[in-house]
Amino acid sequence: MFLTHLECTACRDQAPAVGLQTVCSKCGSPWAVRYDLQAAADTLCRAPGSQSLRRSDERPHGLWRWHEVLPAADPEQAVTLGEGATPLLRLPRLGGELGVALWMKDESRNPTGSFKDRGMSVAVTMALELGARALATPSAGNAGGALAAYGARAGLPVHLAMPRDVPAANRIEAGLYGAQVTLIDGTIADCGKWIKARCEKNGWFDLSTLKEPYRVEGKKTMGYELVEQLGWRTPATILYPTGGGTGLVGMWKAFGEMQELGLLDPEAPLPRMVAVQASGCAPVVDAFRRGADRALAPEAPHTVAAGLRVPGPIGDRWMLRVLRESMGTAIAVTDDELIAGCSRAAKNEGVFCAPEGGALVAALEKGLASGEIPVDGDIVLFNTGTGLKYLECFA
Ligand SMILES: *Cc1c(COP(=O)(O)O)cnc(C)c1O
C-alpha cells in the first residue's frame, strides 16, 4: 500500500490517512489523497519496450487494476461489482459532422449504469475497512442507486435522501437494493442537510460528494484508463458534465500522478478540461465566466439532467482551479439542447446517453462555433451514464 497522507485542496494542511475521514478540519475543504508515487512506480510502470503495463495479465480487470494508486489496504477485499474498464468509442459520424476527431468514453457500461460506481466501489471499500456501520448520502440521481448497490454488496445498511423529482429508476433501484429512501421536497442541498443531521445523530457515515476523500479516488481511474486506451497519451480536450465535479478534479489528479509515475511524458501538454452544465443550474460556468474562484448557488436550480442539479458544489474552488490550470473552459446548454444532443448521438452512433452525456454534444457544437474549443487533436466526451434510467425525459 502506497497511501501516505491527506492534503487539503485549499489550505494545504496535511493529516494522516487513518480512520474514517471527512473534510479538512481547518478550513472545511475537500481532502486530496497522496501516495508515495516513487515507490508505486516500481510496479505501476510499463513493461520494457512494451505498450502494456508491467504484469498486465496479473492485474484485475477494471478499476482495481490501478490498486497501487488506490487507498485500500487489501485490494483483494475490495467491494466490487466489476466497475471500470469501459470502452473508448470512436464517434466517426458525429465527429465528421462537427469536423473533429471525436471519441466517447462510455461510462454507461458500469454495473449500475453510471460512473458513480467507480467512486462508490472505492469509498464503500474504505468505509467498510475503516469500520463504518451504516452509509448515507443525498442523491439527485445515480449516486443513490450506486451506493445502494455497493452497500448491499458490502453488507452495510444504506440511507438515502432524494428530491421528490428524482428519476423513477434511481428511486426504484435503490429500494430494490434494500436502501432506506426518504423523498424530500427540495433540492439536493436540502437532502444534504437532512442527511447531515442524521449522520451526526445516528452515527451513519456520510458519503456525500467530496465530503469524504475516497470517491474521487475511484473516479480518477477514468483518467488512468483513458490514457492507457490512447496509447499513453492524453487527448487535446475532454468534455465533462459537471455536477459536484469529482470526475473533473479526479482526472486532473490522475494526469499529475501519471506524470510522476512516468506513465505520461511530463513535458507533453495535458488536456484542456471543459466543464459542461445545464443552463438551469450552472454555478461553475457562471463562476468561471465571472473570473471568480467560488461558485454562487442559483436561486431555483432546474434541469432534467439530474446529475447536474448541484447548486452549491463543495469542490468549486478545486474545479475552477483545474479549469484554469488546464486552459479549459465552461459551457452551459439548455435542456432542449441536451436532449437534442442525446438524440443526435443515438441516431449517429448508436449510443443512448444520459441527458448529462447529451449535454456534451451540444456544448461541443457551441464551443467549436465560438472558437472556445479548438478543432485540433482528439476530443473526448465522457458519457457518464445510460439514458435508460431517464426514460421519462425522452417519452
Ligand atoms: C453524478 C453525475 C454527474 C455529475 O458528476 P460529478 O462528478 O458530481 O460532477 C454527471 N452525469 C451523471 C450521469 C451523473 O450521475
Q: Whose CA is nearest to atom 8 of ligand 1?
A: 244
What's the chain's average pLDDT?
A: 96
The predicted structure's pLDDT at residue 91: 98
> Probe ligand 1: pick from 320, 333, 384, 393, max atoms within 8 Å of CB?
384
The predicted structure's pLDDT at residue 162: 97
Place of cell 466490487: 80
d(CA 143, ligand 1 centre) in Å? 8
Whether the model pTM is above 0.95:
yes
Which stretches of the chain are DSSP H helices? 37-40, 92-98, 116-129, 142-154, 168-176, 188-202, 215-229, 246-261, 283-290, 316-325, 335-349, 355-370, 391-394
Q: What pLDDT band is residue 57 in, cutting at 50, 70 and 90?
A: confident
Res. 187: pLDDT tops 90: no
Q: What pLDDT band is residue 56 in, cutting at 50, 70 and 90?
A: confident
C-alpha cell at 309: 442539479
Assign domain 88-113+215-394 to its CATH architecture.
Answer: 3-Layer(aba) Sandwich (3.40)
Interacting residues of 79 by C-beta distance below 8 A, sequence separation 6+: 121, 124, 125, 128, 150, 153, 154
Q: What is the pLDDT of residues 16-34, one digit of tens each?
A: 999 999 999 999 999 999 9
Res. 121: pLDDT tops 90: yes
CATH topology of domain 116-206: Rossmann fold (3.40.50)
Res. 376: pLDDT tops 90: yes
d(CA 324, ligand 1 centre) in Å? 21
Ligand 1 atom nearest the C-alpha of 141 is 15
The predicted structure's pLDDT at residue 129: 97
In the chain the first and final C-alpha atoms are separated, in Å, by 48
Q: What is the pLDDT of residues 216-243, one digit of tens each?
A: 999 999 999 999 999 999 999 999 999 9
Q: Which residue has the higher pLDDT, 263 or 50?
A: 263
Please state, in angstroms and rounded to a whole number, the distance separating the CA atoms of residues 37 and 224: 14
Please state, in angstroms and rounded to a whole number, the distance separating the CA atoms of residues 38 and 69: 11
What mean pLDDT do residues 156-175 have? Answer: 96
Q: What is the pLDDT of residues 67-115, one digit of tens each?
A: 999 999 999 999 999 999 999 999 999 999 999 999 999 999 999 999 9
C-alpha cell at 63: 478499476
d(CA 171, ligand 1 centre) in Å? 16
Q: Parallel, antiparallel, or unpaired: how do β-strands 378-383 and 329-333 relate?
A: unpaired
Please state, in angstroms and rounded to a whole number, the distance separating the CA atoms of residues 164 and 139: 11
> What is the number of other CB atoms lying within 10 angstroms of the CB of residue 18?
10
d(CA 274, ligand 1 centre) in Å? 14
